[in-house]
Structure 1
Amino acid sequence: MTAAAPDPGLIRNALTIDVEDYFQVQAYAGAIDRASWDTIPRRVEANTTLILDALARHTTQATFFTLGWIADRHPGLIRRIVAEGHELASHGYGHQLVTDLTPATFRADLERAKAVLEDTGGVEVRGYRAPTFSIGPRNAWAWDVLAATGHGYSSSVFPVRHDLYGTPDAPRRPYHPEGRSIVEIPLTTVAAFGRNFPCAGGGYFRLLPYATYRFGIRHLHRAERRPAVFYSHPWEFDPGQPDVPQAKRASRFRHRVNLALMPARLERLLTDFAWGRMDQVFAADIAGGAA
């Protein structure tokens, strides 16, 4: 049975999925050797399929920021994403932090990912999200490299303070970084009491009550009349994934907390709000209309 669609008069938000496997996350970077990735059984296709099935039930489209590494190994998954009308975008090739790269190595990573995604999906790739939101003032050159490699927008800045990422003083709306042509579409925050509170998914969405996020998105709609950007990962729908005991205790907790709740919470999100692809929700900004 197809779920009832939200009121079409509601503000449409951008639903985004960062397609990577559980062993590729930054929280496990010190515990799992990158060289071992191909020896670990992959779970990403089955988990992404769960998300695709839920979106199909709700006749909803999303943007899938996908690793080139995944596209090389799961071409059928990439073709399904495109065939069902979702936007195929880049998460880079090997999930390396941009802060760990030089302009030359970042360009090589971007070009490698863009080539395999476009060759496999048969569509142009214009969007990009940096692993662990690793673009900001310290490496502003990254936006120039993105523009030079044919990307039209980035969604790589989270205007919050966090131990792994965050640019708390970044704009909260789409903007041209330091007057550049490329548009940065930041992850959603709610401004209150002189600071920004995250309202964009990820670990916060699993840790906090669902009502907190529903309130935050509704507040954004009422107070600012603009769409939210929500993100998640396929591994967040997989409570059966192997534990990584060699990782730090805090990292294991943040990675695994409330994974079993995610399928039901996604259903509630898809029912409570209207969603769409990043390139369509922010079409005017990407075309050059960002303030």
Structure 2
Amino acid sequence: MPFVTKEFFLTDSTKAFMFLENSLGYSSKEAQKIIDKARLYYPNGEIIKKSQIIFGKVCLDIFEPQAFLKPIFVHRDFAIFHKPHNLLTHPKGKFSHQSLCDSIKGIFGKDANPVHRLDFETSGIVLASLHKDAEIKLKKMFEVNMVRKIYRAWVWGRIEKEMMIDLKILSPNKEQKKQSLGIRSRIDKNGKEALTFIKPLDIREDRTLLEIFPITGRTHQIRIHLFAIGHSIINEPLYGVDDKEACLYLDHKLESKKQLFLHARSLDFCYEGQRYFFSVDENFLDLSK
């Protein structure tokens, strides 16, 4: 259970953010995040605001990670993890589900973080920084496309030639994400440039195994691009299904047992003059089942 609730009793009145910073040792950024996520509140459930004067008993939901995955490689600045399918990269809200961050922070401490993320449904390699300086360097490498990523996926339909998918993607804004199915991105001429190169590796009846090279990194890029060209990923729960089915999936997402046939297979990058290449084979379920 990553989040635990702890109670504190303040004998002197103080501002909420000062309590978090001065009494509990959080940085300004961390204190702001706690306030924004509504993790500081009174026992009656009243949410405490940043500059609110607080006194007496208050409750704080604290993230206490418990490691359950071991890294497959450790460097002084970063570590490589193999994320299973149906596991969040970051914890969501104040729920008690596991996330990859449990293992990253549980092993390497609170300053260790995923440098990028994979969707809940997607399995594969994730790069984590072990301290803030490394996080800045590694995230910059992703921003300027200095990290080469390769995915594999089984899709519906026969694809016999390699191709570049060049379709702009419009991601939902903060308000849209709060709406039903607001998590979905869409193909839109007003969206951001999105490029995905695909190469067929195997064809079995009405299904194709693809090797996939995302040139850009938009939210749900591979999933929405493959749906847009008429070749949805097998077991895709959001794109290429009707709204009712997608809503039902989102309502019970954390209990899902289905495997999306999409796997982040490898990462290839140079760091401080040294080239690193990491690869983990996909563990797809039997297609015949």
Please tell me the TM-score bracket, short chain as reference.
Answer: under 0.3
- Greater RCO, CA 8 A, separation 6+: 1
TM-score (norm 2): 0.27
The structure in which a higher percent of residues are strand is 2
